[in-house]
Amino acid sequence: MPQIVAVVGMCGAGKSVVADMLVDHGYHFLRFGQVALDEVKRQGLEPTEANERPIRDGLRKEHGPAAFAILNMPKIEALFQKGNVVADGLYSWAEYKVLKEKFGEQLVVLAVYASPKTRYERLDNRKLASEDTDLRNRHMSPEESAARDKAEIEISDKGGPIAMADHLINNEGSLEELKQQVESFLERIPHG
Protein backbone atom coordinates (compact mmCIF):
# COMPACT_ATOMS: atom_id res chain seq x y z
CA MET A 1 0.00 0.00 0.00
CA PRO A 2 1.55 3.36 -1.03
CA GLN A 3 2.45 5.93 1.61
CA ILE A 4 2.42 9.71 1.66
CA VAL A 5 5.25 10.95 3.84
CA ALA A 6 4.58 14.55 4.83
CA VAL A 7 7.84 16.13 5.96
CA VAL A 8 7.20 18.85 8.55
CA GLY A 9 9.44 21.22 10.46
CA MET A 10 10.47 24.81 10.72
CA CYS A 11 12.30 26.63 7.92
CA GLY A 12 15.92 25.51 7.73
CA ALA A 13 15.40 22.28 9.70
CA GLY A 14 16.36 20.14 6.68
CA LYS A 15 12.96 19.15 5.26
CA SER A 16 14.08 19.49 1.64
CA VAL A 17 17.25 17.48 2.24
CA VAL A 18 15.18 14.70 3.82
CA ALA A 19 12.64 14.90 0.97
CA ASP A 20 15.46 14.57 -1.58
CA MET A 21 16.71 11.47 0.24
CA LEU A 22 13.25 9.94 0.00
CA VAL A 23 13.13 10.79 -3.71
CA ASP A 24 16.39 8.84 -4.01
CA HIS A 25 14.41 5.89 -2.59
CA GLY A 26 11.75 6.16 -5.31
CA TYR A 27 9.28 8.55 -3.72
CA HIS A 28 7.46 11.02 -5.97
CA PHE A 29 8.05 14.64 -4.88
CA LEU A 30 5.55 17.38 -4.10
CA ARG A 31 6.46 20.73 -2.57
CA PHE A 32 3.57 22.24 -0.62
CA GLY A 33 4.89 25.80 -0.82
CA GLN A 34 5.22 25.70 -4.60
CA VAL A 35 1.66 27.02 -4.80
CA ALA A 36 2.75 30.30 -3.19
CA LEU A 37 5.96 30.53 -5.23
CA ASP A 38 4.03 30.01 -8.45
CA GLU A 39 1.75 32.91 -7.48
CA VAL A 40 4.74 35.13 -6.64
CA LYS A 41 6.19 34.39 -10.09
CA ARG A 42 2.79 34.91 -11.76
CA GLN A 43 2.60 38.38 -10.21
CA GLY A 44 6.12 39.18 -11.43
CA LEU A 45 7.47 39.64 -7.91
CA GLU A 46 10.89 38.78 -6.57
CA PRO A 47 10.79 35.58 -4.47
CA THR A 48 11.55 37.11 -1.08
CA GLU A 49 10.02 36.43 2.31
CA ALA A 50 8.52 39.93 2.28
CA ASN A 51 6.72 39.17 -1.03
CA GLU A 52 5.81 35.58 -0.21
CA ARG A 53 4.20 36.09 3.19
CA PRO A 54 1.25 38.17 1.90
CA ILE A 55 0.75 35.63 -0.91
CA ARG A 56 0.66 32.73 1.58
CA ASP A 57 -1.64 34.66 3.88
CA GLY A 58 -3.87 35.66 0.95
CA LEU A 59 -4.21 32.05 -0.24
CA ARG A 60 -5.20 31.02 3.28
CA LYS A 61 -7.68 33.89 3.50
CA GLU A 62 -9.23 32.90 0.17
CA HIS A 63 -9.23 29.10 0.62
CA GLY A 64 -9.17 28.75 4.41
CA PRO A 65 -6.48 27.48 6.76
CA ALA A 66 -6.17 24.21 4.80
CA ALA A 67 -5.43 26.12 1.58
CA PHE A 68 -2.17 24.41 0.67
CA ALA A 69 -3.59 20.91 1.18
CA ILE A 70 -6.68 21.81 -0.84
CA LEU A 71 -4.74 23.49 -3.66
CA ASN A 72 -2.19 20.65 -3.83
CA MET A 73 -4.72 17.79 -3.60
CA PRO A 74 -4.96 17.17 -7.37
CA LYS A 75 -1.15 16.92 -7.60
CA ILE A 76 -0.98 14.68 -4.52
CA GLU A 77 -3.65 12.33 -5.87
CA ALA A 78 -1.98 12.12 -9.29
CA LEU A 79 1.40 11.29 -7.74
CA PHE A 80 -0.18 8.86 -5.28
CA GLN A 81 -1.53 6.85 -8.22
CA LYS A 82 2.10 6.29 -9.25
CA GLY A 83 3.32 5.13 -5.81
CA ASN A 84 4.85 6.55 -2.65
CA VAL A 85 4.83 10.35 -2.30
CA VAL A 86 6.93 12.70 -0.23
CA ALA A 87 5.21 16.02 0.48
CA ASP A 88 7.76 18.62 1.52
CA GLY A 89 6.51 21.32 3.85
CA LEU A 90 3.06 20.50 5.24
CA TYR A 91 2.34 23.73 7.13
CA SER A 92 -0.78 23.84 9.24
CA TRP A 93 -2.95 21.78 11.54
CA ALA A 94 -5.89 22.34 9.15
CA GLU A 95 -3.85 20.94 6.26
CA TYR A 96 -2.85 17.96 8.38
CA LYS A 97 -6.50 17.23 9.16
CA VAL A 98 -7.49 17.40 5.47
CA LEU A 99 -4.74 14.95 4.49
CA LYS A 100 -5.42 12.64 7.45
CA GLU A 101 -9.12 12.52 6.57
CA LYS A 102 -8.35 11.77 2.92
CA PHE A 103 -5.48 9.29 3.32
CA GLY A 104 -5.84 7.94 6.89
CA GLU A 105 -3.10 5.50 7.84
CA GLN A 106 -1.41 5.98 4.48
CA LEU A 107 -0.30 9.42 5.69
CA VAL A 108 2.95 9.28 7.66
CA VAL A 109 4.16 12.55 9.19
CA LEU A 110 7.92 12.90 9.59
CA ALA A 111 9.13 15.88 11.65
CA VAL A 112 12.62 17.21 11.05
CA TYR A 113 13.94 19.22 13.99
CA ALA A 114 16.86 21.60 14.35
CA SER A 115 17.26 24.34 16.94
CA PRO A 116 16.58 27.97 15.97
CA LYS A 117 20.31 28.74 16.28
CA THR A 118 21.21 25.92 13.87
CA ARG A 119 18.41 26.78 11.45
CA TYR A 120 19.18 30.51 11.37
CA GLU A 121 22.87 29.80 10.66
CA ARG A 122 21.92 27.43 7.83
CA LEU A 123 19.48 29.91 6.33
CA ASP A 124 21.97 32.77 6.58
CA ASN A 125 24.58 30.66 4.76
CA ARG A 126 22.31 29.74 1.86
CA LYS A 127 22.64 31.20 -1.62
CA LEU A 128 20.85 34.38 -2.59
CA ALA A 129 17.58 33.94 -4.52
CA SER A 130 19.31 34.94 -7.76
CA GLU A 131 21.65 31.94 -7.34
CA ASP A 132 18.94 29.43 -6.33
CA THR A 133 16.97 28.93 -9.52
CA ASP A 134 14.53 26.34 -8.14
CA LEU A 135 13.94 28.46 -5.01
CA ARG A 136 14.21 25.49 -2.64
CA ASN A 137 17.12 26.68 -0.52
CA ARG A 138 16.83 30.43 -0.34
CA HIS A 139 18.86 32.72 1.86
CA MET A 140 17.24 34.39 4.86
CA SER A 141 18.88 36.63 7.39
CA PRO A 142 18.50 35.70 11.06
CA GLU A 143 15.97 38.52 11.41
CA GLU A 144 13.93 37.24 8.45
CA SER A 145 14.15 33.70 9.84
CA ALA A 146 12.88 34.75 13.27
CA ALA A 147 10.02 36.71 11.70
CA ARG A 148 9.07 33.73 9.54
CA ASP A 149 9.15 31.40 12.56
CA LYS A 150 6.84 33.72 14.46
CA ALA A 151 4.41 33.98 11.54
CA GLU A 152 4.43 30.22 10.90
CA ILE A 153 3.73 29.42 14.55
CA GLU A 154 1.21 32.20 15.25
CA ILE A 155 -0.55 32.57 11.90
CA SER A 156 -0.05 29.31 10.03
CA ASP A 157 -0.52 27.07 13.08
CA LYS A 158 2.53 25.08 12.06
CA GLY A 159 3.16 23.50 15.46
CA GLY A 160 0.30 20.98 15.35
CA PRO A 161 1.64 18.71 12.59
CA ILE A 162 5.10 18.79 14.16
CA ALA A 163 3.67 17.82 17.56
CA MET A 164 1.58 15.01 16.02
CA ALA A 165 4.37 13.60 13.84
CA ASP A 166 4.60 9.84 13.62
CA HIS A 167 8.41 10.00 13.48
CA LEU A 168 11.10 12.54 14.41
CA ILE A 169 14.53 13.20 12.97
CA ASN A 170 16.89 15.42 14.96
CA ASN A 171 18.99 17.25 12.37
CA GLU A 172 21.65 18.87 14.55
CA GLY A 173 24.50 16.69 13.29
CA SER A 174 26.27 15.84 10.07
CA LEU A 175 24.77 14.97 6.70
CA GLU A 176 25.90 11.38 7.25
CA GLU A 177 24.00 11.25 10.56
CA LEU A 178 20.93 12.61 8.79
CA LYS A 179 21.21 9.93 6.10
CA GLN A 180 21.41 7.24 8.78
CA GLN A 181 18.26 8.59 10.45
CA VAL A 182 16.38 8.61 7.13
CA GLU A 183 17.45 5.01 6.48
CA SER A 184 16.25 4.02 9.95
CA PHE A 185 12.93 5.78 9.30
CA LEU A 186 12.47 3.90 6.01
CA GLU A 187 13.10 0.60 7.76
CA ARG A 188 10.32 1.34 10.28
CA ILE A 189 7.50 2.24 7.87
CA PRO A 190 5.57 -0.03 5.50
CA HIS A 191 6.24 0.49 1.80
CA GLY A 192 3.86 0.33 -1.12
Identify the CA nearest to 9 among candidates 85, 148, 114. Answer: 114
How far apart (Å, rounded) are the C-alpha atoms in residues 68 and 131? 26
- Asked if residue 108 has pLDDT above 70, the reply is yes
- CB neighbour list of residue 144: distance below 8 Å, 6 or more residues apart: 49, 123
- Asked if residue 156 has pLDDT above 80, the reply is no
pLDDT (tens digit per residue) in 79-106: 999 999 999 988 889 999 999 999 999 9
Please count the residues of the chain. Answer: 192
What is the topology classification, in CATH, of domain 4-187? Rossmann fold (3.40.50)
**pTM for this predicted structure:** 0.87
148 forms beta bridges with: none
